[in-house]
Amino acid sequence: MIVAGALAMLPVAGVCADDGEKLFKKYCWGCHHQTAEAFGPSFSTIASKRTKEEIVAQIVDPKSTSKVFGYKRSSMPSFSDLDPEELDALADYIMKFKDKR
Amino acid sequence: MRITKTLALTILSAMVLIGAERPKDPSEILPKSDDKIFVVERENSALAVIDNNMFTNEIKGLHNFNHAVVKFRDNDGYVITRDGYVIKFDPIKEKKLKEYKTSKSAIGFIVGDNYVAVANYDNKTVEILDRDLNHIQTIKTGSRNVGIKEYRDYLVFACMDSDEIWVMQDEHSDGKKPWFVLYKKIEKAGEVPFDAMIDKNLYVVGFFNSKNVGVLDLDTMKYKRVPLKMGKKERILKVPHFGFWSISGDYFFIPAVGNKKVFVFDHDFRLVKSIDVEGNPVFTALSPDKKWLAVTFSGEKFPVVQIVDAKKLEVVRRLEFPGMILHVRWSPNHPYLYFSVNDKDMVQAYRVSDPDPKKWWLNLEWQIPRPSGIFVFNKKSH
């Protein structure tokens, strides 16, 4: 017995079409949370400490920026393959969490 | 009883097909089950309850449920949340009993006979509570803490930021209230420990930035690093999980970090094989009969699960789902393998009774919003 295979899905409440959120779910959410410390720092922590430009630099070249920022070590991989629009959308999304706890 | 729209429609269809004269109760149609399944609704602060193969209830108001983890001990249920709460609930009455905020971000916990120990990311502590969530002790480590396990009167965990393994001993092991003191600290264990598994006396820890696993013998307190033959590290979009479920009678199965491989070691930690898999693995979940290993992936391969023959050590089945698989769970009682298809709002159950995995088939499906972790409470054994 297959229960329910062919039926249409119910609409999903609260799904945001925002590109930044989509990119977050594609690339970031395995390690970062918006407001809570996880494997990586929360977006609220990042947004409170960094400018948008610094955030873009960290996404593209974390090895270099982590030295500039004075981190002891960095586990973050580079996302240099993201295009400028994607980086802009993602950085905007991260900045939204400034001062949110 | 809550019946999903899908299920109700299916039952109506079934009635038409079999020419039933009266509406059938779903419980007459669905296979009976001793599994009471609790599914984390990742975005809803809720636990969905699937009882006797029906989605019957939701326990709500459980805080931030991103990465929530559930455990059972006796007739008690416990859950930790991303925002640092530990919550006790009654899995039989499906009711929240009590909550305690241990930190701003919790990552793992264990439930001992007379305590609950919560490993926290943010505020860099391990908190000890009694089984009713009264606070007993705060262990300050100065690091995010992962891979928390128990062995005899030891509490063992790894410190992600300081690369240490701490073994704490309960100095009140005869009494009711535990009190843990540092018994052994392994320094420079490896770079960025992220999770651990335990098999009897062997505590096995994985590292994000070191090409080895660490093995601590908790009887002798001897520690060794076991090298992993890794290829070029690929970009990692989700940190893998270790788990007790990937230890068979013969082997340890260890997901590679940033490589499309599952490593297989014998119990002396000699490499037996590295199995090539389709993506970067997240979960390696062993079936209760230890015959099959379900491997999930991250990134582009989130919708794929591969089944490995745990004796022949080769991939024997590939399953592809309509959305991202965030968790899998083998039923402890029945021939079912459960999957959370997160972005399609469904949990699916494959029937896995056939000895040939190619003949396993999609049997049941429940519409559950944004599901992630699947946890089974065994009604029979409780």
Mean pLDDT score, B118-137: 97
Portion of chain B with pLDDT greater than 90, in percent: 80
Break chain B down into helix, strand, coil percent, rounded to 5.
Answer: 10, 50, 40
Residue among A4, A33, A77 minimizing CB distance to B10 = A4
Chain A CB within 8 Å of residue B88 CB: no
- A1/chain B closest Cα distance in angstroms: 6
- DSSP secondary structure string for all residues of A48-88: HH--HHHHHHHHH-HHHHHHHHT-S---PPP-TTS-HHHHH
- A29/chain B closest Cα distance in angstroms: 8
Least confident of B3-7, B18-22, B334-338: B3-7
CA-nearest of A62, A58, A73, A32 to B67 is A32
More confident residue, B77 or B248: B77
Least confident of A14-18, B68-72, B89-93, B244-248: A14-18
pLDDT digits 0-9 by tens, B192-226 = 999 999 999 999 999 999 999 999 999 999 999 99
- Whether residue B154 has pLDDT greater than 60: yes
ipTM of the complex in this document = 0.80
- DSSP letter for B343, please: G
CA-nearest of B260, B138, B168, B151 to B204 is B151
- B223/chain A closest Cα distance in angstroms: 24
Q: In what helix (H) or strand (E) does residue B330 lie, and over which residues does it extend? A: strand B325-330
Find out whether B278 and B297 touch, Cβ atoms under 8 Å: yes
Q: In what helix (H) or strand (E) does residue A93 lie, and over which residues does it extend? A: helix A84-95
Compute the mean pLDDT over every residue in chain B, rounded to the nearest whole number: 91
Question: Alpha-carbon distance B55 to B345, whole Å?
Answer: 13
Question: Alpha-carbon distance B356 to B346, whole Å?
Answer: 25
Chain B CB within 8 Å of residue A12 CB: yes
Q: Which residues of B touch A36 (CB under 8 A)?
A: 64, 66, 82-84, 104-105, 121-122
- Number of other CB atoms surrounding residue B353 within 10 Å: 11
Phi then psi for residue B276, to 5 deg, are -75, 130
Please name the amino acid found at residue B320.
E
Query: What is the rounded end-to-end Cα distance, in angstroms, of chain B?
Result: 23
Q: Which residues of A touch B209 (CB under 8 A)?
A: 73, 75
Band (pLDDT 50/70/90 cuts) for residue B41 is very high
Tokens standing for A13? 């409440």
For chain B, the C-alpha Rg in angstroms (whole number) is 21
Instruction: Give the model's pLDDT for residue B7.
Output: 47
Q: Which residues of B touch A9 (CB under 8 A)?
A: 344-346, 367
Chain B CB within 8 Å of residue A31 CB: yes
Q: Which residue has the tokens 């909550």?
A: B99
Residue among B105, B208, B235 minimizing CB distance to A36 = B105
Interacting residues of B279 by C-beta distance below 8 A, sequence separation 6+: B260, B297, B298, B299, B300, B301, B304
Instruction: Give the model's pLDDT for residue B382.
Output: 59
Mean pLDDT score, B106-111: 96
Question: Alpha-carbon distance A54 to B20, whole Å?
Answer: 67
- Whether residue B3 has pLDDT greater than 70: no
Band (pLDDT 50/70/90 cuts) for residue B127 is very high
Vertex B67, ends A52 and B343: CA angle to 5°?
Answer: 80
Mean pLDDT score, B267-286: 94
Q: Which residues of A touch B101 (CB under 8 A)?
A: none
Residues with pLDDT less than 50, chain A = 1-17
- Domain-by-domain residue ranges, chain B? 1-30
Phi then psi for residue B236, to 5 deg, are -105, 125
Q: Which residues of A touch B104 (CB under 8 A)?
A: 36-37
Mean pLDDT score, B237-250: 80
pLDDT digits 0-9 by tens, B334-358 = 999 999 999 999 999 999 999 999 9
Mean pLDDT score, B116-139: 97
- Whether residue B10 has pLDDT greater than 70: no
Instruction: Give the model's pLDDT for residue B267.
Output: 87
Q: Which residues pair with A97 in a beta bridge?
A: none
Q: Is the dihedral of CA A33, A36, A41, A45 positive or negative?
A: positive
Chain A CB within 8 Å of residue B237 CB: yes
Q: Verify whether the Cβ–Cβ distance B9 to A7 is below 8 Å.
A: yes
In the sheet that B154-159 helps form, which strands lie side by side, from edge to edge?
B145-151, B154-159, B164-170, B180-186
- Whether residue B8 has pLDDT greater than 60: no
Calculate the alpha carbon distances from B367 to B5, B50, B295, B351 in Å. Answer: 8, 11, 23, 18
For chain A, the C-alpha Rg in angstroms (whole number) is 17
pTM tops 0.95: no
Instruction: Give the model's pLDDT for residue B241.
Output: 84
Q: Which residues pair with B79 in a beta bridge?
A: B70, B87
Query: What is the rounded end-to-end Cα distance, in angstroms, of chain A?
Result: 47
Residue of chain B whose Cα is closest to the Cα of A14: B43
pLDDT digits 0-9 by tens, B278-315 = 999 999 999 999 999 999 999 899 999 999 999 999 99
Chain A CB within 8 Å of residue B82 CB: yes
- DSSP secondary structure string for all residues of B225-276: EEE----SPPP-SS-----GGGB-SSEEEEE-SSSSEEEEEETT--EEEEEE
Find out whether B224 and B211 touch, Cβ atoms under 8 Å: no
Q: Verify whether the Cβ–Cβ distance A30 to B238 is below 8 Å.
A: yes
Residue among A3, A9, A30 minimizing CB distance to B345 = A9
